[in-house]
Amino acid sequence: MSYYRSLSALESTYVAINKQHNTSFINQIFIEGKGHLDPHKWQRAIALASKQNVGSHLRLKGIWGWRYWDSEGKNPQLHVVEHDDWDGMGTKGMNFAQQGMDVRKDSLAEVWLLPGTTPRILFRTHHAIMDGMGTIFWIQEIFRALNRQTLLSADGRWTETTIAKQQKHPKYTFQVDKSASPLQKKANRTLRRGCHWRRIEIPGISSKIIPRFIQAIAEYIREKQLDKRVDRICMRVPADLRRYLSTEDAKSYSLGNCTSLIDLDISVEDDVQSIHKKILRAMRNKEDIGFVTQTALQLIKWMPGFMVRPAIYPGDKTLNTIYDKENYPFTANISYIGKQEIKHYSDGDFTATAIFGIPIALENRPLFIGISTIEKNTHATISAPYSLISEAELEKFCQELITRIVAL
C-alpha cells in the first residue's frame, strides 16, 4: 500500500450517502467543443493520468473514525455513449451517467465520451476523493496526456482538515437560520425526489461573478415577495483552502477535498461591490478555516452513517415539512471554478468551446449554482428540487436571472 490518508471530516459527510441511485456528492463537469473524440487515445490518456495521479483510484477502508483511503481502488473507467438526442442544456434527455458510486467497491472517477454533432466529454468524480478544483486538475492531466505533455502529477495527502490544523483561525460563529427562497411555494405540490438543472450562458460577463449572482437572486426575492416579510437571505460559497499552503507544501498537489465553505448574510443595503468585499473579508479573516474546525463537524467522522444521513438526505416526511414551512438553511449554494483557458481542454482532435458542471445539489435547499468562465463568457448551471419548480418555471427563472445579472 504505497498511498494512505485518513478520511477528512467533510469527506465523511460525502460518504454518508452511499446509495447507487443517489448522485448528490458526485462532481460532474462537462467539456463541450468541436472535433473528434478517439476512444483509443482517451483510454491511453486516462490510464497514464491515473498512474501519475494516485488520488484518482482510491478505495475506502476501515470503520468509523478510523476510516482511510488507500490506492488500491479501481482505475478510472471510460464510457462511450451516443447523445445526439440531448441538447446539453438541461436534465431532460440526459439518460446516461445516472448511477451512484460505492466508495468501497466502485471506480470513483470516470470519463464519458459523448460523440455527436456537438461532441462533449463528461468527467465524474466522487466528492469524497476529489473536490471541484481537484477534479479540474485531474481533467487537465488527462489533456496533458492527450497532448503528450509532461504530467504534473498529484500525490499530496492534504485535505481541508490537515490544512486547517496549520492555521490560526477565528471561531465559527455564523448562526444558521431560516433563509428566504427565490422559488415560490406551491399550494398543490406533490413530492418528487431529486433535482433538475438548467444551463445558461452570459456573454461578455467575466468579473465579480459570484457577487453578481448573489445580488441578482437577492433582488429577485425582494421584488417577488413585496407582499410579505422577506426572511433572511443567506448564501453559502465554497472556498479552496489550497491557497493557505506554503510554496513548498503546494508542490505536492492533492486531489482530495481541500474545499471549505463561507457563509454570507445579504442585506437590503448590499450591492455587487459590497458583496465582493464581504467575500474578500471572510477569506482574509479565515472564516473558511473556522468552518472546518467546528467541533461538531470534526465529530461527524466518528458517527455512523445512519446518524449523519438524515441531515443530508431527509426522508419523505421531513422533506415535505421543510417544503411546507419553507424552512431552508440557505437561500443558495454558489460555486465557481474560475476562469478557464481553452488550451487546457483541447488536443489535436478536439477544441473546447465551453466548460460547465452539474452542481452538487441537495433537496433541502432551493438552489445550487455552479459557474465557470471561459474566455469572456460565463457558463452556469442552476439546479433546484423537482418538487419546488417545474422545468418551464426553471427555464423562466434562468432567463430572468440572466437579465438581472447583465443589468448589474
How far apart, in whole angstroms, are the C-alpha atoms of residue 201 and residue 350? 21
* Cβ atoms of residues 6 and 160 within 8 Å: no
Minimum mean pLDDT range among 138-147, 158-167, 292-301, 366-375:
292-301
Q: Which residue has the higher pLDDT, 42 or 189?
A: 42
Strand-pair category, 109-114 with 77-80: parallel
Q: How far apart, in whole angstroms, are the C-alpha atoms of residue 117 and residue 35? A: 9
> Which of these ranges, 48-52, 174-178, 278-282, has the smallest mean pLDDT?
174-178
- CA distances to 76, 187, 325 from 155, rounded to whole Å, are 16, 52, 46
Of the pLDDT bands very low, low, confident and very high (cuts 50, 70, 90), residue 54 is: very high
The predicted model gives 297-318 an average pLDDT of 87
CA trace torsion 306, 19, 133, 41 (10° rounding): 160
- Of 131-135, 261-265, 376-380, where does mean pLDDT reach its minimum? 376-380
Residues 201 and 378 sit within 8 Å (Cβ to Cβ): yes
Taking 90 as the threshold, does the pLDDT of residue 229 lie above it? no
Check pLDDT > 90 for residue 317. Answer: yes
Q: Distance (Å, rounded) from C-alpha 261 to C-alpha 9?
A: 13
Return d(Cα 178, Cα 375) in angstroms, integer. 38
User: Contact at 8 Å (CB) between 58 and 92?
Assistant: no
Q: Output the nine-digit C-alpha cell for 318.
A: 421531513
pTM over 0.85: yes
Mean pLDDT estimate for the chain = 92
Where does residue 218 fall: left (phi above 0), alpha (psi -120 to 50 degrees), or beta otherwise? alpha
User: 4-407: which CATH topology?
Assistant: Chloramphenicol Acetyltransferase (3.30.559)
Check residue 24 and give its pLDDT. 72
How high is the pLDDT of residue 226? 56
**pLDDT digit string (tens) for 16-25?**
876 545 557 9
What is the per-residue pLDDT for 339?
Answer: 92
DSSP state of 328: B
CA distances from 174 to 287, 294, 322 (A): 9, 11, 21
CA-nearest of 165, 162, 6 to 70 is 6
Count each helix (H run) and each strand (E run) in the chain, helices first: 12, 14
Residue partners of 307: CB distance under 8 A and separation at least 6 = none
What is residue 399's predicted lDDT score, i.e. its pLDDT?
Answer: 96
**CB-hemisphere CA count at 13 Å for 101?**
29
Is-contact 193 364, C-beta < 8 A?
no
Mean pLDDT of 312-333: 92
Q: Which of the residue ranges 183-197, 317-331, 339-353, 361-375 would you say has the lowest mean pLDDT?
A: 183-197
- Lowest-confidence segment of 224-233, 302-311, 315-324 by average pLDDT: 224-233
b/e map of 280-314 (b: 16 or more CB within 10 Å)? eebeeebbbbbbbbeeebbebbeeeeeebbeebbb
Give yes or no for residue 46 having a pLDDT over 60: yes
Task: Write out the DSSP string of 43-70.
Answer: HHHHHHHHHHBGGGS-EEESSGGG-EEE
Q: Which pLDDT score, from 0 to 100, does residue 51 have?
A: 95
Residue 188 has pLDDT above 90, yes or no: no
Quick one: pLDDT at residue 143? 98
Per-residue pLDDT at 272 exceeds 80: yes
Digit-coded pLDDT (tens) for 76-120? 999 999 888 899 999 999 989 988 899 999 999 999 999 989 999
DSSP letter, residue 243 = G
Q: How confident is the model at residue 228 (pLDDT cuts 50, 70, 90)?
A: low
Contact yes or no for 380/213 (Cβ under 8 A): yes
Domain boundaries, the chain: 4-407
- What is the spatial distance between Cα 244 and Cα 163, in angstroms, rounded to a whole number? 7
pLDDT at 80: 97
Paired residues of 77 in beta bridges: 110
CA 408/CA 401 separation, integer angstroms: 11
Share of the chain above pLDDT 90, in %: 73
HEC letters along 174-200: CCCCCECCCCCCCCCCCCCCCEEEEEE
- What pLDDT score was predicted for residue 84? 81
- Tens digit of pLDDT for each residue in 140-163? 999 999 999 999 999 899 999 999
Cα–Cα distance, 83 to 93 (Å, whole number): 9
Q: Assign 231 to helix, strand or coil.
A: coil
Residue 249 has pLDDT above 80, yes or no: yes
pLDDT-derived band of residue 206, with 50, 70 and 90 as boundaries?
A: confident
Residue 346 has pLDDT above 70, yes or no: yes
Residue the block writes with cell 509532461: 150
